[in-house]
Structure 1
Amino acid sequence: VVNIVYSVSPRHTVDYYAERTRQAAALRPYRLCFKDVGGLLTPETAAEFMPVIVENAGGIPIEFHAHSNNGMAPYVALMAAEFGIRYIHTAVPPLANGSSQPSVFTVVRNLRRRGFEVDVDLERLERVSEHFALVAEREGLPVGRPAEFDESLYGHQLPGGMVSNFGYHLGQVGARHRMQEVLDETVAVRRELGYPIMITPFAQFVGTQAALNVLTGERYRAVSDEVIRYAMGQFGEEATVEMDPVVRETVLSRQRAVELVEPPPEDVPLETVRAEFGGDFSDEELLVRVLTGMRDGTLDYSASRDGYPRTYEEYRACDGSLLDLLKKLDRARGDGHFSLSLSLSLSLSLSLPGLTATGM
């Protein structure tokens, strides 16, 4: 799947996306995905850009992916379907909304009201939603909620999770009060870097450099290695063409840029790589082995789950249980203690500051 990422800048015009879509379609991928990770599409811009993506896709199926951090993704998802996009990314509450994708329940019900046939069993997904709601409540995890429209997103265009992360890290160095300065500087840095699309890793490049500029008191006095590599063109040729030439010279004129110069990668035939790693692997497994350097042994894709319930039923069996109570007591005990003994009956005694209790 080739992603075509929506962004707002003087560079990212309708003609730009028409050309990018044609280039992506020429690769004959399985699908294309029109992606709005910043939640920036409005009904007006969706009506302007979506038909262009569809018209230039050469018949390749298109997916639509949008984040809800500006409140408009549920409606824009309906527009995507109206313009002929047949695969829409959603999420199951409480993992939906906020900085995530719109709720599958909202999107499916709205699509059905518009007359679309949607092959999704919402009753089964209700069980999934209930499970994750229970996990969130027990573990004290945040849940996604519908977001309000925020015009400032069109300035810095940082993903929602990254903004909150910046606030945390600035607070750790006593500079949380400078958050707005960093966001304002992000706008300037993005312009000087040539308006990169604000997704990983480019959003981190831009945001980190903006924070460095603000906290050091001098713009580009300190520059991250990633921004130097970006200016060298190691993340694509657009930087070498679109980046502000004065800023690019400032970035590349330092000694660190000389140290980061790398020889071009060797063009190794696929057959040679297969012979080096041995085995009749699928393309997917070969790629994993190349990226991890693993030549021998069997790949284990399962994560360690020791100490965690292995099934939905096991987790539900803990509902309202002693385990849940003990977790709460453990978080509240401070300098106190509790003890638990098991026999034919169960007894629990605990001692907390200002509280003593026993139970059978």
Structure 2
Amino acid sequence: MSAIRLVDVTMRDGNQSLWGATGLNTAHMLQAAALTEACGFRAIDFVSSSHMAVAVRYFRNNPWERLRRMAAAMPTTPLQFITTGLRFIAWQQADPEFMRLVYRALQANGVGRFVLLDPMHEVPAVLEAARLVKQEGEAEVMAALTFTLSDVHTDQFYADFARALAGSADIDLFYVKDPGGLLSVDRARTLIPAIKAVIGNKPLEIHAHTTIGQGMLASLEAAKLGVSAVHVGIGPGGDGSSLPEANRTLANLEAAGHCVEIDRAALARLTAYWNRLALAEGLPPGRPQNFDASFLRHQIAGGVMTTTARQLAELGLSDRLDAVIAETEQVRAELGYPIMVTPFPQMVMSQALFNVIGSHRYAQVSDQVIRYCLGKFGKPTSPIDAEVLATIMDRPRARELEHEPTFPALADLRRQFGQHLPDEEFLLRAVMPGEQVDAMLAAGPSRSTYTPEAAPLLSLLRQLAARPTARDLVVERPGFRLALHAGASL
């Protein structure tokens, strides 16, 4: 058995899958940085452009500051950025020169590894992105083989895609990404060898979600078949719709005879921190899942399921979740079985939601679904149902989007926002509402420290301070006195 490394997904994919990407702010992450660095992970699945948008929109945290400070605190552990195609925050495919600036800024601020994921598995798109990344820095580039179940996505399909990329010097390694937790042990036994046979000596990693209980077993089988790293979530950030929990994965790998390169004492301390944080912040921990055959059909990734369930709850329609899931299966089939990975699960499940709560199916269609049908996200792997395509395209909005302007050129955006605007601010303003960026900048630097045990008290004090009648507050107990006066901030 060869040595196996672990990749920690807690701060990005665990946070997204279990807590809708809004569970963790910069202070939470900074407090975990030294503990994480001490573990010796192969890399940290840390950020995506969507997570950068969440930092701005929900927390008023500067995502560039977050990157810089985390990279400084973890100098030997690469921070990983995942991107789907040539896009940054906005849904539109961006101007390549704009993306060149994005990749330059990300590397300058501490990203040491990029995951390039093209949902359509279009070779030229991945190679172009890899070339831009390498021209703007020295980060590793990992190509994603995004697993799904369909008549098209066979072992040969993935092997052909991997072979086409493996010859590029800009691609350093590969991983099998299973966002829906669909990879079974039996399929791993044929898929992993087929990929390894065509990528030469380039490493292969496994990223298998545990949404229906298969991720742990698939990861262990992949380790047996020669992958170099297994992706895991720590403590409450593992299991459920996230990835295999790190401590149990470590024990299982060692029981199978593998040597796992990790500092066990540091991992225990990191696990304890995330446990305390989840309890203090009311974040539900991931739990081991039972096998659910329905997921093999609808293939909804955990983060999208969590977000949709929250949206239905906000509308008072929680009882319609099963109907939305069933409709998702039908919509995905009608749209040509797109792989359920960002941005497609959001599109498919949102359309299913519209179909369930609307007056009739496809009465309301999002711009993103129309753009998908127009081929603006690439050519669908399987044909779109002809009747559904006609229904979607036979509306004025479809004709408008067919002729919509493309993503502006970098030079045009520079003229619009100012030639001398710092790159980091410029990139956010180019793709986000200006008022959200203004609010982030006004908030100033993020907090550096976080104490889980103090979180409930601080939350209570914030609520009391928000009441007009609560001008001065005093908390006393033997040996302790805390006074909060009007005008103070927490």
TM-score (structure 1 length as normaliser): 0.77
Rounded to whole Å, the distance in 2 between the matches of 1:162 and 1:292 is 26
Unaligned runs of at least 5 residues, structure 1: 280-284, 295-299, 350-360
1:15 paired with 2:156, answer yes
Contact kept? 1:22, 1:58, Cα under 8 Å: no
**How many pairs does the alignment contain?**
325
Task: Name the residue aligned to 2:402.
Answer: 261
Task: Name the residue aligned to 1:82.
Answer: 224
Which of 183, 190, 193 is matched with 2:325 structurally? 183
Task: Name the residue aligned to 2:451.
Answer: 315
Rounded to whole Å, the distance in 2 between the matches of 1:233 and 1:186 is 20
Unaligned runs of at least 5 residues, structure 2: 1-141, 432-439, 484-490
Task: Name the residue aligned to 1:65.
Answer: 207
1:36 paired with 2:170, answer no
Task: Give 1:345 shift.
Answer: 5.7
Task: Give 1:263 shift.
Answer: 6.8
Which secondary structure does the structure 1 equivalent of 2:324 belong to?
A: helix
Task: Name the residue aligned to 1:95.
Answer: 237
- Structure 1 residues 30 and 71 mapped into 2: Cα distance closer, same or farther (>3 Å)? same
Question: How far does the alpha carbon of each residue in 1:107-137 deviate from its partner, in whole angstroms, 9 at most, with x for none?
Answer: 2222222222221111111111111211122
Task: Give 1:259 shift.
Answer: 0.8
Task: Name the residue aligned to 1:24.
Answer: 165
Rounded to whole Å, the distance in 1 between the matches of 2:165 and 2:284 is 37
- Structure 1 residues 32 and 267 mapped into 2: Cα distance closer, same or farther (>3 Å)? farther
- Structure 1 residues 215 and 202 mapped into 2: Cα distance closer, same or farther (>3 Å)? same
Aligned residue type for 2:474: L
Question: How far does the alpha carbon of each residue in 1:194-229 deviate from its partner, in whole angstroms, 9 at most, with x for none?
Answer: 100001110011111111112223222221111110
Task: Give 1:58 shift.
Answer: 3.4
Rounded to whole Å, the distance in 2 between the matches of 1:305 and 1:287 is 15
Rounded to whole Å, the distance in 1 between the matches of 2:456 and 2:408 is 56
Rounded to whole Å, the distance in 1 between the matches of 2:384 and 2:306 is 28
Contact kept? 1:61, 1:85, Cα under 8 Å: yes
Task: Give 1:171 shift.
Answer: 3.2
Which secondary structure does the structure 2 equivalent of 1:120 belong to?
A: coil
Rounded to whole Å, the distance in 1 between the matches of 2:477 and 2:310 is 47
Task: Name the residue aligned to 2:270.
Answer: 128
Which segment is superposed worse, 165-174 or 61-70?
Answer: 165-174
Task: Give 1:328 shift.
Answer: 5.8
Rounded to whole Å, the distance in 2 between the matches of 1:129 and 1:63 is 23
Which secondary structure does the structure 1 equivalent of 2:206 belong to?
A: strand
**What root-mean-square deviation, in Å, do the aligned CA atoms of Structure 1 and Structure 2 show?**
3.9
Rounded to whole Å, the distance in 2 between the matches of 1:264 and 1:190 is 28
Identity of aligned residues (%): 33
Which of 39, 48, 69 is matched with 2:190 structurally? 48
Aligned residue type for 1:115: G
Task: Name the residue aligned to 1:215.
Answer: 357
Rounded to whole Å, the distance in 2 between the matches of 1:287 and 1:330 is 31
Question: How far does the alpha carbon of each residue in 1:244-298 deviate from its partner, in whole angstroms, 9 at most, with x for none?
Answer: 2222222122111111124786998x9x99x99999xxxxx9899667659xxxx
Question: How far does the alpha carbon of each residue in 1:154-187 deviate from its partner, in whole angstroms, 9 at most, with x for none?
Answer: 1211112322332332233343322222111111
Contact kept? 2:242, 2:302, Cα under 8 Å: no
Rounded to whole Å, the distance in 2 between the matches of 1:227 and 1:287 is 30
- Structure 1 residues 265 and 26 mapped into 2: Cα distance closer, same or farther (>3 Å)? farther
- Structure 1 residues 59 and 261 mapped into 2: Cα distance closer, same or farther (>3 Å)? same
Contact kept? 1:11, 1:195, Cα under 8 Å: no
1:340 paired with 2:474, answer yes
Task: Give 1:238 shift.
Answer: 2.1
Which secondary structure does the structure 1 equivalent of 2:247 belong to?
A: helix
1:201 paired with 2:343, answer yes
Contact kept? 2:207, 2:231, Cα under 8 Å: yes
Aligned residue type for 1:62: L
Aligned residue type for 1:12: H
Rounded to whole Å, the distance in 2 between the matches of 1:136 and 1:174 is 26
Larger radius of gyration: 1
Which of 251, 255, 258 is matched with 1:116 structurally? 258
- Structure 1 residues 234 and 53 mapped into 2: Cα distance closer, same or farther (>3 Å)? same
- Structure 1 residues 133 and 161 mapped into 2: Cα distance closer, same or farther (>3 Å)? same
Contact kept? 2:208, 2:243, Cα under 8 Å: yes
Contact kept? 1:24, 1:32, Cα under 8 Å: no
Name which structure has the greater RCO, CA cutoff 8 Å, separation 6+.
2
Rounded to whole Å, the distance in 2 between the matches of 1:54 and 1:288 is 42
